Structure formats: C-alpha cells, structure tokens
C-alpha cells in the first residue's frame, strides 16, 4: 500500500472552489505584492488571535528572522531554542548572525523543558524561541516567568500551532512576537 507523506489532493479537494476563486481574484486584480488581500488577511488573522498587529511576510522562516532583527538580536548574541524542532528555528538564529543554544525537550510533550533553560543562560543570552510542536503549546507560563526574570525576549515559533490555546490564549500571543507558517503542509 502506498501512503503519501503529505496528501495535498485530499486536503485541497474540500476547499478547492474557494482556493480557485481566491487565486483568480488575485490574478485578475493584477496586484501581486501587498495590496488589499494582504491587509485584509493581516486584519482577519490578528482578530482571530485577539492581538493588535499582524504582518504578512514571505514564510515562517522570514517571520522568525525578522522578529530577531526587529528585537536587535545578531552577532555575539545567544538564543535558546529546543533541540527537538524543525531546522528553520535554528536557521533563523544563524541567519540573524546569532548563536543557537539548544535545550533538550520533555519526554512527555516533545516541547522545550523549562526546567533546563536557566542552566544555559549566559550574559550573552538575548532571547528564547519556544516551539509549539505538533500543535501542542509549549509551557508558556514557566517560559515567560524565566524570560521576565532574566530580561530576555521571547519569539514563539508557532509554525505548527495555528489556533492552539494555552490557558485561554492562542499560541503565538504570549511573547514579543509569534511567527507562523502558511506552507500548505502545516497544521493550518
């Protein structure tokens, strides 16, 4: 039996007409960058997350890199992230010029183990990037407490957790920024 790794056909079949209508309206408008489609999506997604600002960018990796740059993180800085994640989390840190510092995950959640974060904090640490892996939010209460105590920024890698809720709030809305991916194979 052949089981496809990611089966876009069956996923898209359920919403195919909507996808065709939306792409034809973009093509017919001749407006391919920014424009009203992007701003109406930004508005709709920030309403969905109950946050004030949402900015469309090229992909989830860019969202992470831009978050790091916006927070002034670069050469000589260290950024803590889980050892168990997709490569883009660490790539974003190296693209920004900073150094990734890996922390082991919890065996029962596969997400970063908050009890192991403090031991890797140094004077060079500038931020933590928790990843909400496989749709399951990381332990944001403990992570935000550690970040506040050590004056660190928090960038949530929410590429795999659109709509996930942690203690009544959507994943991606706890830290300084939350980065999402809209690649069709994602949990979206």
Q: Which stretch binds ligand PLP (CB under 6 A): 3-11, 34-42, 134-142, 152-160?
A: 152-160
Among 73, 81, 112, 159, binds ligand PLP (CB under 6 A): 159
Minimum CB separation of residue 128 from ligand PLP in Å reads 15
By C-beta, is 149 or 171 nearer to ligand PLP? 171
Per CB under 6 A, 60 contacts ligand PLP:
yes
Q: CA-based angle 96:64:183, to the nearest 5?
A: 130
Residue nearest to ligand PLP (CB): 60
Position 156 contacts ligand PLP (CB under 6 A)? no
- Residue 67 found at the interface with ligand PLP (CB under 6 A): no
Does position 125 bind ligand PLP by CB under 6 A?
A: no
Least Cβ distance, residue 149 to ligand PLP (angstroms):
26
Q: Kindly state the smallest distance separating residue 187's Cβ from ligand PLP, in Å.
A: 9
The answer to whether the beta carbons of residues 150 and 177 sit under 8 Å apart is: no
| 61 near ligand PLP (CB under 6 A) | yes
Binding ligand PLP (rule: CB under 6 A), the pick from 77, 128, 157, 171 is: 157
CA distances from 16 to 20, 23, 37, 70, 112 (A): 6, 11, 18, 37, 37
Query: C-alpha distances in angstroms, 71 versus 32, 34, 56?
Result: 29, 23, 18
The residue among 92 and 117 lying less far from ligand PLP, judged by its C-beta, is: 92
For ligand PLP, give the closer residue by CB, 1 or 63. 63
Q: Which residues lie near ligand PLP (CB under 6 A)?
A: 59-61, 85-86, 88-89, 131, 157, 159-160, 181, 183
């Amino acid at each position: 039996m052949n089981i496809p790794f990611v089966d876009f056909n069956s996923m898209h079949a359920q919403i195919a007409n909507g996808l065709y209508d939306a792409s034809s309206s973009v093509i017919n408008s001749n407006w391919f960058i920014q424009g009203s489609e992007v701003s109406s999506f930004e508005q709709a997604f920030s309403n969905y997350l109950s946050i004030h600002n949402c900015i469309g960018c090229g992909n989830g990796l860019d969202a992470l890199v831009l978050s790091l740059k916006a927070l002034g993180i670069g050469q000589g800085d260290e950024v803590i992230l889980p050892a168990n994640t997709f490569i883009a989390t660490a790539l974003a840190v190296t693209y920004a010029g900073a150094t990734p510092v890996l922390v082991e995950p919890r065996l029962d959640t596969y997400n970063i183990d908050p009890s192991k974060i403090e031991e890797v904090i140094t004077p060079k640490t500038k931020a933590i990037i928790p990843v909400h892996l496989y749709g399951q939010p990381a332990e944001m209460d403990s992570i935000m407490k550690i970040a506040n105590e050590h004056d660190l920024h928090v960038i949530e890698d929410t590429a795999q957790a659109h709509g996930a809720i942690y203690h009544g709030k959507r994943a991606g809305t706890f830290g300084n920024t939350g980065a999402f991916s809209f690649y069709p194979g994602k949990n979206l």
